[in-house]
Amino acid sequence: MPQKQQKIHKLWGGNFSHLPPQHILDFASGSDVKGKKPYDERLIPYDIAVNQAHVKMLSKQQIISAQDARLLLKGLEEIKALYKQGKFTLSEGVEDVHTAIEVYLIKKYGVAVGGKVHTARSRNDQVATDMRLYLKDQTKVFIVELTQLIFALQQLKKKYACVKIPGFTHHRPAMVTTLGVVFGAWKEGVVRDKMRFKQWLTLYNKSPLGAGTGYGTSFPIDRKYTAKLLGFSGAEPNILDPITNRGETETAFVFTCALMMKHFSQIAQTLILWSMPQFGYISLPDGFCTGSSIMPHKKNPDVLEVIKAKAAILYGALQSLLAINSGNFIGYNRDTQWTKYLVMDAVDESFPGIKVLKELFGALSINEHVLVKACKEDDILITCAMEKEVQQTGQSLRAVKQRVEKALKI
């Protein structure tokens, strides 16, 4: 009888105690087999909210009738329901999310009513407000996840407070420290990352809605009212600033993400080296490694290497954002539309790394017996011995250091 064909989904893993979960595999594989939805689809719920606030303001200010406002708000609720059901999406025939929503309202109520939704407004202030709302939500989620990562690092700091490990400078053994100090250093970096996200919220929690093209409108709008409806702390004090500087909020956000990823990249490289057979300080769980398509013995730290790659992508995105925002003439410039794509990509590349590191830290194995031996090798105790002699004899540090160096030369 012919042998039953075995289904093969991966070209590696037979030597693993357990394979990585799907979200780890997705993290490591990037966009190899999964594509992206249109960028503006992320803005659909925010554009609906902005439209709702705008229509309510137009009615309050008697710019449109209460009846027209009721119809428009009803139509917007229909769009929201369709979106939640996955039935309101964007296609190539529609220019952007703003157009898609207005076209829906015009088809439903005719241009006489549906066409009023854009009264006293430009797509410039509309998308700027959408992006503020989107990034506010993203920032809050980043803060929640970073808080959990900080807690995980704090627990490791306490657990390994007295476990000694070689400290390195220039990739060479330097002095003995503790794992508690190392985990504590990593924690402090993440604490600052969390603070920067909070600072972003403080700086950019103002509504651009009502700025129009940057030069306002002749309609008697109420910008403070729409700002309040949308959950902002207030309206932008100057209407030209948020339009001319569209992209600054995105750049500031990506700067914060880039610094966070810099910390993650340093952590990743350290863990990679510590886990090498030549070091053996730690063991990486199988669930955070991948194998080789040809070498049966391999367990590669791909997840950590991917973190380093994603950090590099963030640095590039930040440089691109700075370049796009530089040298523009005052007022709106179409250049700044590309900041939307860069910041959304930055979210995709950086956010998953928080959860990955948190989970990895929870499953990390510390090989303490290896650390005990390593802390007695490679002259790593010489500096402490030198300092002890200085304290006991009262000699100058320089004199003792020169004598020790001569002895080492022999």
pLDDT tens for 355-376 read 999 999 999 999 999 999 999 8
* 376, two tokens: 């007695």
pLDDT at residue 9 above 80? no
Residue 293 DSSP SS3: coil
Per-residue model confidence as pLDDT tens digits over 48-96: 999 999 999 999 999 999 999 999 999 999 999 999 999 999 988 888 9
CATH 1.20.200.10 in the chain, residue ranges? 122-211+232-372
Show Cβ contacts of residue 48 under 8 Å, excluding neighbours closer than 6 positions: 76, 79, 80, 83, 101
**Percent of the chain clearing pLDDT 70 (strictly above):** 92
pLDDT digits 0-9 by tens, 199-225:
999 999 999 999 999 999 999 999 999
pTM for the full predicted model: 0.91
Residue 58's pLDDT is what?
A: 98
Q: Where are the alpha helices (DSSP H) in 61-207?
A: 66-84, 97-109, 111-114, 123-159, 179-204
pLDDT > 70? residue 286:
yes
Cβ-Cβ contacts under 8 Å for 85 (sequence gap 6 or more): none
User: Which residues have a catalytic role annotated?
Assistant: 170, 292
For domain 36-119, the CATH class is mainly alpha
Q: Are 347 and 141 in contact (CB under 8 A)?
A: no
Are 267 and 357 contacting, i.e. CB atoms less than 8 angstroms apart? yes
pLDDT for 33: 65
The 10s digit of each residue's pLDDT in 176-192 is 999 999 999 999 999 99
Q: Which residue shows structure tokens 């950086």?
A: 350
CATH number of 122-211+232-372: 1.20.200.10
Tell me what pLDDT residue 106 has.
98
pLDDT at residue 8, as a whole number: 46
Judge whether residue 389 has pLDDT over 60.
Answer: yes
**Tally of CB atoms within 10 A around 225:** 18
Residue 291's pLDDT band (boundaries 50, 70, 90)? low
Q: In the chain, list all ranges with CATH 1.10.275.10.
A: 36-119
